[in-house]
Amino acid sequence: MIVLETLYVATPALTAQAPILAIVIPLLGACAAAMAPSARAAWMISVAAAVFGAWMALAVAGEAMREGVLVYVLGGFDPPMGIALRIDAMGALMGLLIGSVGTLAAVFSGHSLVAEVRPEKHTLFQAGFLLCQAGLTGLVFTGDAFNAFVFLEVSSIGTYALVAVGERRDRRALPAAFNYLIMGTVGATFYVIGVGFLYAATGTLNMVDMAARLATLDQSMAVQAGFAFILAGLGVKAAMFPLHGWLPGAYAGGPSLISVLLAATATKAAIYLMVRFMFEVFPQGAAFGEAFLTWVLAPLAATGAIVCSLQAVFARELRRMIAFSSVAQVGFIFLGVSLANADGLSASLFYMVAHGLMKATMFMALGALALSIGARRLDDFAGVAREAPWTAVAFAIGAASLVGTPLTMGFLAKWGLIEAAIASGKVWIAVVIAAGSVLTVIYVGRMIEAMFFRPPLPGAPRAKEAPIGVLAPLLVLAGLSIWFGFDASLIEQLSQAGAARLFEVRP
């Protein structure tokens, strides 16, 4: 059992600068990768920057658990006049998820890009990847509403381009990237309009100061409009049903590396920011906030969990099947959030990490198989377990966690959501989660049956085991889903502390 309060991974001087270094080093790495003389050099830069970012995220997590809230002032001007990074346990948990998945994805990219991205674009791809990691880390670390928009767009610029370069493997990546660009721009515009309304009402962009001022104001039309615009905009970024139209195409058409990153981190960062606004920025007991949770968020989350699970059941392409599954799992997360209590939020945070790891495993396994077969349809993966057993087993572990099989992290995550729903008297939420899980068994069963029990199609390309540079991060991801199924103390500490602090400090 790891006790974060006693974990020191860097010197005090380095830990003091860890919040900004976790953002700046990947950002500088993006510039260096873009100017690298070769793809190999760009990959080495990407790995080094991602590893350093994850190291700093771990240092931040330990310090946040010791201090409660870690504030890093930029430029020597204290907030609210100045800009500050502000990290609590919830932000530290998201930073760890982004840093760890980013590191494994960077290692994986060394071989995976060969099959899916044109050679002349490898250096720029690595630059875009690091740009995305820097933006997502800044998004979960910042304490300023407008700078959250800036970091949101920094990460989005990278992901739009990264989805598009998948056109070598699948020409549908180009319209998928364009659709993602349009939807993402609409979402970002809605968010910044909402921030504008709140700034007009409060005169500040610092989220803590904004929360304090909103607590003393009447629920004016400007405040309600700001609330609506922010949550609608972030709902697009989080792929909340029915605002998820961009996600299946981006996941299915983009390179495997960007599917890993988007599924594991990008939507989770947007959900994090939504939670931050719903439960910290807006005053406790705001009637429109309660109405949103009860009559908008919960019904849409439940509908998405069932409808998108059904779409996954009937999908014919494996990556699109997993993409629809991701929207359904986002519905599960929002069902926990809609409970509006510490237990529900803690369960949702835990589920976010579990879902990030399981989907990263599954998309990375498909990327490993793409090196040899480059297939899309479910039938094309028939019998791959016979030629690539390690890759298929890793995929199966991610799929088992997705179902909620005992001894996996996914089981603990779903059990936590069901417990929180029943304890809150919302038995119907537990029923929805159970029904969605039954549908998950159906489409996951189709995947496993094709890979492990069907013979390969006549004349189909033969799968090969991936090289060690791809297999190693894949097996680490799969191993984490098993490890946290036995000992999830590290994730539980951060998720429980983050949820408890968020509800304790509500104005």
What confidence tens digit (pLDDT) does each residue in 247-275 have? 777 777 778 788 888 888 888 999 999 99
Maximum pairwise Cα distance, the chain: 71
On whether residue 491 sits in a domain, the answer given is yes
- 192 — pLDDT class (breaks 50, 70, 90): very high
Task: Give the residue numbers spanning the domain of 367.
Answer: 299-507
Q: How far apart are the first and last CA of the chain?
A: 34
E strand or H helix at 141: helix 122-141
The answer to which of 4-18, 185-199, 449-463, 466-480 has the lowest mean pLDDT is 449-463
DSSP annotation of 3 reads: -
CA distance 312 to 310: 5
- Return the bridge partners of 142, or none: 85
**pLDDT level of residue 87 (50, 70, 90 thresholds):** very high
Give me the mean pLDDT over the 345-365 stretch: 92
| pLDDT exceeds 50 at position 506 | no
- Residue 73, pLDDT > 80, answer yes
- Residue 70 has what DSSP assignment? E
Q: Is position 456 within any domain?
A: yes
The reply to whether 334 falls in a domain is: yes
The span from the CA of 132 to the CA of 128, in Å, is 6
Tokens of 169: 């493997």
Question: Tokens 């038995």 map to which residue?
Answer: 427
Give the closest residue to 463 by CA, choosing from 390, 362, 400: 390
Between 456 and 133, residue with greater pLDDT: 133
Closest CA to 139 of 281, 273, 330, 31: 273
DSSP for residue 449: I
pLDDT value at 136 more than 90: yes
Rounded to the nearest 10°, the torsion over CA 492, 498, 503, 504 is 100
Task: Give the pLDDT confidence score for residue 170 in this predicted structure.
Answer: 63
pLDDT at 48: 94
Cβ neighbours, 10 Å, residue 402: 29
| 3-state secondary structure string across 388-429 | CHHHHHHHHHHHHHHHCCCCCHHHHHHHHHHHHHHHCCCHHH
The pLDDT of residue 100? 93
Say which residues have a Cβ less than 8 Å from residue 436's Cβ, sequence separation at least 6.
305, 306, 309, 328, 331, 332
Number of domains the chain contains: 1
402 in a structural domain: yes
In this prediction the pTM is 0.93
Residue-averaged pLDDT of the chain:
86
Q: What is the pLDDT of residue 507?
A: 40
Q: What's the pLDDT at 10?
A: 81
In b/e form, how buried is each residue of 318-352, taking b as 16+ CB within 10 angstroms?
bbbbbbbbbbbbbbbbbbbbbbbebbbbbbbbbbb
**Which residue in the block uniquely carries the two structure tokens 């670390």?**
141
pLDDT tier at 167 (50, 70, 90 boundaries)?
A: low
Mapping DSSP onto H, E and C, the string for 248-311 reads: HHHHHHCCHHHHHHHHHHHHHHHHHHHHHHHHHHCCCCCHHHHHHHHHHHHHHHHHHHHHHHHH
Q: Tell me whether residue 34 is in a domain.
A: no
pLDDT reported for residue 287: 54
327 falls within a domain: yes
137 within some domain:
no
User: What number is the average pLDDT over the span 193-222?
Assistant: 87
Percent of the chain at pLDDT > 90 equals 42
- Has residue 234 been placed in a domain? no
Is pLDDT of 497 > 70? yes
